[in-house]
């Protein structure tokens, strides 16, 4: 026996009822449940669809589908981080390496020049770092709003898209410039430390560009590569 279209739709509704909101995870679970139910029918044709479904659902344990969702989220977060690292590496290879190190040199020159007037320099540095943080937050808000509108239009949510459009905990990288800005207390820094700050500032800026613009612009491409059914939908 094979499941009917109505029964397949019932499985989708069942996953939604158990707090699986992402269509890609729903599809994976529906495929698993459908195959398991058909296997049960081969062994015991007298089982009803609902009985077979409840038997299979109990195998997921007390937390239901949550463990599956958490594992899949972890896997896709790893995939996303690899995408960020892959794009970041391109900025440290010829010819982009020239532009990257030029930017580091410019930032270093500015930091060194600001050291001549420590108080004013510190104010400028703090303002620069907080401006970087503010731009990140604004971009994140815009991306989330765009993704929310798309979800409402398509009525389907994809976990990888949620991660790409700002739900991956990227705010953690903001702790670095925050701590740096807060600890500027009128001290002079060595050239080595200024060079490190310059490198950090540029890498942070590149990372924000990758996560806020580059990867979101290629979101559909990554989704098609991850989910074959995405193209059809």
Residue 185: DSSP 8-state: S
How many independent structural domains does the chain possess?
2
* pLDDT of 70 above 80: yes
How far does CA 90 lie from the centroid of its chain? 19
Report the pLDDT averaged over residues 205-210.
Answer: 82
* pLDDT of 186 above 60: no
| pTM as predicted | 0.69
In the prediction, which pLDDT does 167 show? 56
- Which residue segment(s) compose the domain that 38 sits in? 5-64
Do 38 and 110 reside in the same domain of the chain? no
Is 154 part of any domain?
A: yes
In the prediction, which pLDDT does 170 show? 55
Do 15 and 96 reside in the same domain of the chain? no
Do 93 and 29 reside in the same domain of the chain? no
Do 168 and 211 reside in the same domain of the chain? yes
Do 60 and 82 reside in the same domain of the chain? no
Is 71 part of any domain?
A: no
Q: Write phi, then psi, for 22 (nearest 5 degrees).
A: -95, 130
């Amino acid at each position: 026996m094979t499941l009917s279209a109505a029964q397949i739709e019932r499985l989708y509704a069942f996953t939604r009822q158990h707090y699986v909101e992402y269509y890609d995870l729903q599809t994976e679970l529906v495929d698993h449940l459908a195959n398991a139910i058909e296997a049960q029918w081969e062994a015991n044709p007298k089982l009803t669809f609902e009985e077979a479904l409840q038997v299979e659902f109990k195998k997921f344990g007390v937390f239901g589908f949550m463990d599956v969702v958490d594992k899949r989220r972890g896997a896709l977060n790893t995939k996303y981080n690899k995408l960020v690292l892959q794009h970041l590496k391109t900025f440290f290879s010829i010819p982009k390496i020239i532009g990257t190190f030029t930017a580091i040199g410019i930032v270093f020159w500015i930091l060194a020049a600001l050291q001549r007037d420590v108080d004013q320099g510190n104010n400028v540095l703090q303002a620069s770092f907080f401006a970087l943080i503010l731009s990140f937050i604004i971009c994140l808000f815009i991306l989330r709003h765009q993704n929310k509108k798309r979800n409402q239009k398509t009525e389907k949510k994809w976990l990888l898209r949620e991660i790409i459009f700002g739900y991956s905990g990227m705010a953690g990288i903001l702790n670095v410039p925050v701590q740096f800005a807060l600890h500027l207390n009128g001290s002079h820094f060595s050239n080595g430390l200024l060079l490190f700050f310059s490198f950090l500032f540029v890498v942070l800026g590149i990372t924000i560009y990758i996560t806020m613009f580059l990867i979101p612009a290629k979101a559909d491409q990554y989704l098609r590569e991850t989910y074959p059914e995405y193209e059809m939908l």
